[in-house]
Amino acid sequence: MTFTLMSMAFDLHTHSTCSDGTQPPAEVVRLAAEAGLEGLALTDHDTTAGWDEAISVAQRHSISLVVGMELSCVTDEGISVHVLSYLHDPQHAGLSAEIARAREARIIRAQEMTARIARDYPDLSWELVLKHTHDDATVGRPHLADALVDIGVVPDRSAAFTSLLSSDSSYYVPHYAPDPALGVELIKEAGGVAVFAHPMAAKRGRTVSDRTFTEMIEAGLDGVEVDHRDNSAKGRDKLRQLARKYGLLTTGSSDFHGNGKPNRLGEYTTAVETVKALEPRASSGLQVLWHTD
């Protein structure tokens, strides 16, 4: 057996058709194994619906699995924040209620954005958006993007995001999501490990203030996702400094969305030592599913 550096690496941030990825959970796991990864985390937006399927196939592909989720949050300044949650209790009442509320708000918001766009592009309809959304998936702008590609308005998701679906666009509608400090608090209450996802992703819009960082750290933030394609080089330096100062874990991940984004599985990774450090920080009783062969 060849033993490469890659074979000890984890990709701690991936999406499936349970949210806005294009591949089912089992396929994400298979592709991660094929990419030579030691392990992956499945982190769909605001849902744990993919966990069972991912768990059922991980051993077969000789790959370790960290069950996770990416919690949508929004600051009082209207800045979108994503918090990765690993190994939390998926039944926790407080966290489940927040996710349910955000998922419901996402549907209303996607319907409103669809209605606004349909005034100018009448081929777009809510039925078409639903056709591009897997059953019970967390609905997001990527599903609207797929519908816009279908009717020939844009060539791909990325083009949709730089035009009609951008947060600066007149078609854009925000949706309810918890404050980031509340998000971290709920993840900790649910026994999970909270890692701030792509905190310095300036390309996606404004990045958070130092006050938000402080509030999240005070709420029990465990780590920051440093190595991610959307974080600027300067931003990564700042994150490493913060991590040293506050004893936070640092992770690296791809944010794989299948064919929905150029991000390749394993393009950034997290060392196995860091993955081992997640376990004692989780109080839910859930552990990393280490593969046994």
Q: Which is nearer to ligand AMP, 13 or 281 (CB)?
A: 13
260 binds ligand AMP (CB under 6 A): yes
Q: Of 140, 178, 180, 266, which one interacts with ligand AMP (CB under 6 A)?
A: 140
User: 88 is in the binding site of which of Fe ion, Zn ion, ligand AMP, none (Cβ under 5 to 8 A by kind)?
Assistant: none
Which residues between 231 and 270 bind Zn ion (CB under 5 A)? 255
44 binds Fe ion (CB under 5 A): no
Q: Rounded CA gap, 208 and 183, in Å?
A: 15
Choices 25-33, 184-192, 239-247, 257-265 (CB under 6 A): range interacting with ligand AMP: 257-265
259 binds ligand AMP (CB under 6 A): no
Choices 1-9, 97-105, 254-262, 275-283 (CB under 6 A): range interacting with ligand AMP: 254-262
Q: Which is nearer to ligand AMP, 228 or 261 (CB)?
A: 261
CB of 78 to Fe ion, least distance (A): 16
Which residues between 4 and 63 bind ligand AMP (CB under 6 A)? 20, 45
225 binds Zn ion (CB under 5 A): no
User: 158 is in the binding site of which of Fe ion, ligand AMP, Zn ion, none (Cβ under 5 to 8 A by kind)?
Assistant: ligand AMP
Q: Which residues bind ligand AMP (CB under 6 A)?
A: 20, 45, 140-142, 157-158, 161, 257, 260-261
- Footprint on this chain of Fe ion (rule: CB under 5 A): 20, 82, 197
